[in-house]
Amino acid sequence: MYRLYIAIAYRRKNEYLFTVVAEGPDALLLGLRYSPTRLHFLFLSQDAAGAWQTRVSFHSPALMDSQWHTLVLAVSEDSFSLTTDCGVPVDITADVPFPAALSVQGARFFIGSRRRTKGLFTGLTGKPEDNEVLKYPYETDMKVTLGSRPPCTKVEDAQFWFDAGQRGLYLCVGSEWVSVLAAKERLDYVEEHQRLFTHSETLGIEVFVIPEAGLFIATANRKATSAIYKWTDGKFASYQTECPRPLLQIFLAVANFDPNEKGQEFSVIYKWSPRKLRFTPYQRVATHSARDWEAFEVAGEHFLAVANHREGDNHNIDSVIYKWNPRTRLFEANQTIATSGAYDWEFFTVGPYSFLVVANAFNGTSTKVHSHLYVWLVGSFRLFQSFLTFGAADWEVFHIGDRIFLAVANSHSYDVEMQVQNDSYVINSVIYELNITAQTFVKFQEIPTCSALDWEFFSVGEDYFLVVANSFDGNTFSVNSIIYRWQGYEGFVAVHSLPTFGCRDWETFRTTAGSYLVYSSAKEPLSRVLKLRTG
């Protein structure tokens, strides 16, 4: 069987598409010609009695529209089949079979003519303006787009997009690509993607996105000016010095924990300038060795909670919740909450209820202190539940299905009345689960950690993970931080061990190129971006 594939746009009423002509007598050995209503396949037949020209004609009026069409002509001994635009083939059985052997010795092949000067073909027939004609016909008809994520607008409505990298098929519906078929993404391994050198040791790192500006991270550095880095060409590049934590999308709040030359301590709120594409100072707030800012919204009003760690040698001081005043356009003190060496605030909601939990780290004599969970009632936060913690440095709230969890990072077991042992840094951090019936968080799982300073929850495909920032084991800061995978009844099980040095903070983010983790070090001016390789 022979097959001939042609892409063509009809222009003239009668024309040869191609011919094979014998040298000398101008005998047509093979040819394809179209007329206004038919497509003709011609070939030379011969037997002992002589040679004659045979014509097989297909009815094809739909081709005369000056649009590009695809034709597939299949020829066997006594059957001829024409498929137009991937439609239903038209089969013809001819009385005269196609010759099993057709000698073309000395013949010439012509495109667009029959060896005549008139109508002599040069270049591509009709000269298509783009490569549309070169696409596979099934792809054109199905309207499947390959490559990176295309726009989804009215023009692309009902078209498919195949993401080869993620092995997923998507359908454009309205303005969103809806997953039709996707391979299950699973975490395979973790590899280093970038070494990000910072101005000094980094006590915290935050990932945030500014619409129409891009993806950023902000680093809270220990000894030098903090900085902002922008994701550019697949890596973070220096963008602006000053200010670390993002707040309410257009603000950044800096938690300063050292006094100025006058002994005063101020944290600074910066505002994003769309014109300058920079953060500019907006408001100064008096704080006391501030360790963290938490931005949140309750009933349409915006708040900021600062974790005041200590004032001089006194760790038992008030932390403050500020509320945005739209009239003065400032954050103003709204509520004070007694804390003990506060290190972190975490806000979350459960149904219509808003919660705020503080990580208390030290009361002046011991790290064995209660950290407290507050619920918003009648315009202020009220105590809801207390947890016994050991140098609590971080809370992480996360959801798995309908279940709600709280994980605390315990960093140190210490009491001035007890001799400090090296293993006092190797202690259990705890995951709690909300019991809806009892309306309280109950202990779900304890995980051994090495002076844990942060938890970060993330997902890959249908799998859920927690990564812990292990910082110190009592002897060295070179300790492995661990990724745990959710395994249902088993809880979280260790699956990856990542070498880190004085690890302080983990953040996760995703780009079109995949998923990443980034961690900061409190003991060296180097942060690392890790890529999650999936299989």
Is there a single domain that holds both residue 45 and residue 164? no
Cα distance between residue 255 and residue 245, in whole Å: 8
What's the pLDDT at 77?
Answer: 75
For 10-21, the pLDDT digits (tens) are: 665 677 888 888
Pairing state between β 426-435 and 403-410:
antiparallel
Judge contact between 256 and 273, C-beta under 8 A: no
| CA–centroid distance for 75 within its chain | 50
E strands, 48-164, are 50-59, 68-75, 79-84, 90-93, 108-111, 144-145, 160-163
In a domain, 382, yes or no: yes
Give the count of domains, the chain. 3
Identify the pLDDT of residue 245: 43
Residue 436 phi, psi (nearest 5): -65, -40
Tell me whether residue 138 is in a domain: no
Collapsed DSSP state (helix, strand, coil) of residue 423 = helix
Q: What's the domain range around 178?
A: 143-182
Does a structural domain hold residue 271? Answer: yes
Does residue 248 sit in the same domain as residue 352?
A: yes
pLDDT number for residue 122: 43
Tell me: do 234 and 120 sit in the same domain.
no
Predicted local distance difference test score (pLDDT) of residue 138: 47
**Together in a domain, 347 and 474:** yes
Same domain? 527 vs 382: yes
**What is the pLDDT tens value at each position of the chain, 535 positions in all?**
566 767 676 665 677 888 888 876 667 888 888 887 888 888 888 776 677 788 888 887 566 666 777 788 888 877 888 888 777 778 888 888 888 777 777 788 787 776 664 544 444 444 555 555 445 444 445 567 777 778 888 878 888 888 876 678 888 888 888 888 877 788 999 999 999 999 889 988 999 998 888 999 999 887 656 789 999 999 999 998 755 444 433 566 656 555 555 556 888 898 988 888 888 899 999 999 999 999 999 999 999 999 999 999 999 999 999 999 999 999 999 999 999 999 999 999 999 999 999 999 999 999 999 999 999 999 999 999 999 999 999 999 999 999 999 999 999 999 887 755 545 999 999 999 999 999 999 999 999 999 999 999 999 989 999 999 999 999 999 999 999 999 999 999 999 999 999 999 999 999 988 999 999 999 999 999 999 998 7
For 287-379, list the strands marked E by DSSP: 290-298, 301-308, 316-325, 330-340, 342-350, 353-360, 368-377
Q: Are residues 109 and 228 in the same domain?
A: no
Cβ distance 22 to 29 under 8 Å?
yes
pLDDT in the model for residue 48: 60
pLDDT of 93? 85
* The two three-digit tokens of residue 296, written as one number: 């949140």
Q: Quick one: pLDDT at residue 439? A: 96
DSSP states of 464-504: EEEEEEE---SS-SEEEEEEEEE-GGG-EEEEEEEEEESEE
